[in-house]
Chain A
Amino acid sequence: MQAPLLEMKQITKSFPGVRALDGVSFDLSPGEIHALVGENGAGKSTLIKILAGVYPHPEYDGEIFLDGSARCFANVRDAEKARIAVIYQELSLVKDVSVAENIFLGREPRRFGVINWEKLYSRAQQLLDDLHLAIDPLTPVRNLGIGQQQLVEIAKALSQDARIVVLDEPTAALTDAEVETLFGILNKLRARGVAMIYISHKLDEVFRISDRITVLRDGRTIGTEATSDLDEARVIAKMVGREVGQIFPEVKHERGDVIFEARNVTVEDPGVPGKLLVDRVGFTARKAEVLGIAGLMGSGRSELLMAIFGAHPGRKSAEILVDQKPVQINQPSDAIKHGIGFVTEDRKRYGLILDQTILKNMTLAGLRKLSGRFVTNEDAEAAAGERSARELRIKANSVFTIAGTLSGGNQQKVVLAKWLLTNPRVLFLDEPTRGIDVGAKQEIYAQINKLAERGLAIVLVSSELPEVLGLSDRVIVLYEGRITGEFTRGEATPEAVMSCATGHARRAA
């Protein structure tokens, strides 16, 4: 192998309370596609952001060498000047502006400060031709599908003469045909000597396209090997290879009757008509049971729950049965009426009104029951809220503290309290412990077990495998919007679940 183009040595990066990266090393040769794999939270994104200058030099420890000389990037611009281009999962194109303008955004060819449009369009056309892309440089980006937008991002990276291109989950939103086009282009770039870092959860793609694979786990490098020396099972073992600690109390729930069932849930991507985010998925939930839904990012987990809850913005269809009887859920209030609660992912966006007090947040969903149909009763609310806050051990001066000032763990407890105050029989939990510290996590785990013991049917979605395995009585696995596996607690080993979650294996219980 040639001398490495890029070397990252002993990279360590800490956030308050968390060490995201711990002595990670990584290298990249010209004309190589180097895959970076690992569970969510393993540190892939953090590593990329350091390379891209998002986390500038003094904020991390370790060294970066480009062509053998040490470099430190103080900002994103520096990294761009070093000809490093990053294509993030959330595309950073300006939707209402043409393809050509997007490609040269901020670097428009100018003469005396005036944009030279002819030059801009002809250079854009050249780039697109070069990639054999049949895209008109004058079309607004909005009119392109997600797949084509991805390709425009690549054209943009090439227009900057990038030597290193980082692709973060590039195929997450692509159709199979678009994936083929993308791979064709990546192969062409590789032949030209461009070095690429390829981040993906989809192991089959990783094995098709990459030359080497590096596995990250819990912020550490587990190993780097040539792709030809590896197989999917070994990569999976490296990804999950850790003991599920004893932070999960061993609980045996007395499972009751099926009180909730979803059949044939199909959800369409609101942005891409025809693309299915969830494809004919069904599951049942029993009284006093925790059903885990495992799956990696983009597998359709959240969309599945949102659709059942009546909150998906796009087209969807589903048959929902509560107590074996079919019910219609068209909007969240219908779901609440049928005893379903939903602790959503992203508490700041979907869960809380950050400007309002803990109490007002807690009572929002169950206001009519707690307070009164029309005239509210602040004292009845305060009494219920304070009881809830004590039970969930929310740490705040009082229930009149503004929710936005709380720590993540306490905010999450407020959201949980909001739903418990609606007296649900079925509780959906979507990533209930994302971004909160270990102590608060354990408290949430204890609550989940307590609620199941009390007879609630709990549906738990999490991308943290140990969490799903440690809490669930039963696990279903989603991959690309379909169920690829179902396990009982005893059968659900990390390797088996991860195989299904990466599309490597299918398994029915």
Chain B
Amino acid sequence: MTDSANTRTGRFKIRTSALRAYTMLLALIVIWLFFQWATIDQYHPYGLFLGAVNFSKLLQQMAVTGVLAVGMLMVIVCGNIDLSVGAVVGLSGGIAAMSQGWGVVPSLAAAIVVGLLIGAIQGTLVAYVNIPAFIVTLGGLEAWRGVILKLTKGATIPVEHPFFRSLGRDFIDPRIGFGLAIAGIAAIAWTNIRRNRARQRHGLKVLSAAAIATRILFPSVVIVAFIFLMNKAGGVPIPVIFLLAVALAGSFLTANTTFGRYLYAIGGNPDAARLSGINLRRYILAAFCVMGALAGLASILHTARVGSASPDAGSLMELDAIASCVIGGTSLMGGRGTVFGAVLGALILASLDNGMSLLNVENWAQYVVKGGVLVAAVGFDMFGRRKA
């Protein structure tokens, strides 16, 4: 047991979950380089894809799916599924648009509250009435879409309020962007140093100064480069700020709280979780509530970006969110997956969408490629695990 700390930071031993994340990161880089090469023309001698303007657009496109994927991850990790999120995005967005007369803050709050309520209803049916999540949310997918049609009478409602619109379309001031970058780097440095002190206090192996410096430096470089790139295109898009906040919060919730640990335990072995004193129902309900609230937030970003709420808004978004999780290494059986992976999955899907559109790939081929990538990602995973 003496070399445990070594193993954690060891040079050659990489945990399998980390290995999976590196593979996906590598796949993303290959996809990016391919599109960058494929979009070289006389006007863009270095390629168009990763240019500031296009990259900014790509991130805006993925924000909604990314937010949903974070919620979906929690639902899937505890062994469930939510097929209703697309319809919830439509309904929450419709209600936000319809209630603009109350003022912008109440209308935005309404969207989130509606999402949360729907999550609570569906979560209760799953956790306390023992109806399988697949059935409950399949019913939700139909029913909530019907409620939208009833409420909006089938009409598309424009977003009037400029602040509402700005949430989907505007950018934060480049100076604020830099401020956030500095705050982020400071936070990373502080947690790393504090963590190391804590390890010392608990008698665990302490990291060397060089190791800590790398752990601080590498993400800092990524953050600064990201802010520079975004600021070239007018600043970080507001939806991307929301996505980053949701991803950070989701990451913390799943990795650093008892709530997160219980979700993984419930998905990994419900019997063992129950006998360890975990109240399964409470945590499954909570996961659905988080998913619902995030669907409400996603509906705001989506409605603001499109500029109106239409009755069919959000259709098929649930499948993009599930696909993001799965591409990012989440097991549909529960117990396995990370927020980082789910967001990475959303980024891969958005990159494929954006890149293929730039190349004018025909619509039918785009669907085929995305479907193929989904199946291939899981196929590689299974293949890798069988060998291991």
Chain A residues in contact with chain B, CB under 8 A?
309, 311, 331-333, 335-337, 342, 344, 349-356, 360, 364-365, 367-368, 371-380, 382-383, 386, 389-390, 394, 396-400, 402, 418
Contact = CB atoms under 8 A, between A and B. Distances in A.
Given A368-B258, A373-B258, A399-B1, A353 B195 contact: no
A375 B256 contact: yes
A356 B264 contact: yes
A380 B336 contact: no
B190 interface: no
B272 interface: yes
B277 A398 contact: no
B274 A376 contact: no
B305 to A, nearest CB: 34
A372 B4 CA distance: 22
Contacts of B277: 331-333, 335-337, 365
Contacts of B7: 397-398, 400
A352 B335 contact: no
B162 interface: no
A398 B199 CA distance: 16
Contact of A349 (B195, B271, B336): B271
Nearest to A337: B277
A489 B271 CA distance: 35
A367 B279 CA distance: 13
Given A353-B272, A389-B1, A374 B259 contact: yes
Given A353-B268, A354-B269, A382-B202, A333 B279 contact: yes
Contacts of A332: 274-277
Nearest to B15: A400
A342 B7 CA distance: 31
B211 interface: no
A382 B204 contact: yes
A383 B257 contact: no
A424 to B, nearest CB: 12
Given A332-B276, A394-B1, A379 B198 contact: yes
Given A353-B335, A356-B264, A383-B202, A309 B258 contact: no
9 contacts: A356-B265, A356-B268, A364-B273, A375-B256, A382-B204, A386-B1, A398-B4, A398-B7, A418-B276
B8 interface: yes
Interface in B249-295: 256-262, 264-265, 268-269, 271-279
Assign chain B's interface to a size class.
35 or more
B261 A351 contact: no
B336 A355 contact: yes
Contacts of B258: 367-368, 371-374, 376
Contacts of B3: 397-398
B274 to A, nearest CB: 6
A190 B268 CA distance: 49
A402 B256 CA distance: 19
B275 A344 contact: yes
A490 B259 CA distance: 49
Contacts of B260: 376
A153 B21 CA distance: 51
A375 B177 CA distance: 29
Contacts of A368: 258
A359 to B, nearest CB: 9
Which 3 pairs, one residue from A and one from B, show the smallest C-beta to C-beta distance? A398-B4, A383-B202, A333-B277
A314 to B, nearest CB: 15
Given A336-B276, A374-B258, A400-B4, 5 more contacts: A353-B265, A364-B261, A376-B258, A383-B203, A400-B8
Interface in B324-359: 335-336
Given A389-B1, A398-B7, A376 B275 contact: no
Contacts of B273: 353, 364
A376 B276 CA distance: 17
A352 B276 contact: no
B36 to A, nearest CB: 37
Contacts of A356: 264-265, 268, 335
A386 B8 CA distance: 13
A223 to B, nearest CB: 42
A393 B335 CA distance: 28
Interface string B1-30: 101101110000001100000000000000
A373 B274 CA distance: 18
B269 A352 contact: yes
B275 A342 contact: yes
B202 A374 contact: no
Contacts of A352: 269, 272
A305 B338 CA distance: 36
Contacts of A397: 3-4, 7
Nearest to B271: A350
A355 B16 CA distance: 11
A389 B264 CA distance: 22
Contacts of B201: 379
B204 A350 contact: no
Contacts of A374: 257-259
B49 to A, nearest CB: 37
B253 to A, nearest CB: 10
B25 to A, nearest CB: 21
Kindly name the residue among A332, A342, A360 whose own CB sees the greatest number of chain B CB atoms within 10 A: A332
B268 A355 contact: yes
A41 B264 CA distance: 36
B387 to A, nearest CB: 15
Contacts of A354: 268-269
A344 B256 CA distance: 28
A344 B264 CA distance: 20
A333 B269 CA distance: 17
A372 B260 CA distance: 13
A352 B243 CA distance: 35
Contacts of B268: 353-356
A265 B256 CA distance: 40
Contacts of A365: 276-277
Contacts of B198: 377, 379-380
Contacts of B6: 398
Given A374-B258, A398-B4, A399-B1, A331 B279 contact: yes
Contacts of A364: 261, 265, 272-273, 276, 278
B199 A376 contact: no
Contact of A379 (B16, B204, B264): B204
A224 B15 CA distance: 56
B252 to A, nearest CB: 8
B279 to A, nearest CB: 6
A385 to B, nearest CB: 9
B202 A350 contact: no
Which of A332, A350, A365, A398 gathers the greatest number of chain B CB atoms within 10 Å?
A398
Interface string B188-205: 000000010011011110
Contacts of B275: 309, 311, 332, 342, 344, 350-351
A374 B258 CA distance: 5
A400 to B, nearest CB: 6
B276 A398 contact: no
A16 B261 CA distance: 35
A394 B269 CA distance: 22
B4 A386 contact: yes
Contacts of B259: 374
Nearest to B336: A355
A397 B265 CA distance: 22
A197 to B, nearest CB: 34
B204 A375 contact: no
A350 B256 CA distance: 25
B339 to A, nearest CB: 15
A376 B202 contact: no
A378 B204 CA distance: 11
A210 to B, nearest CB: 38
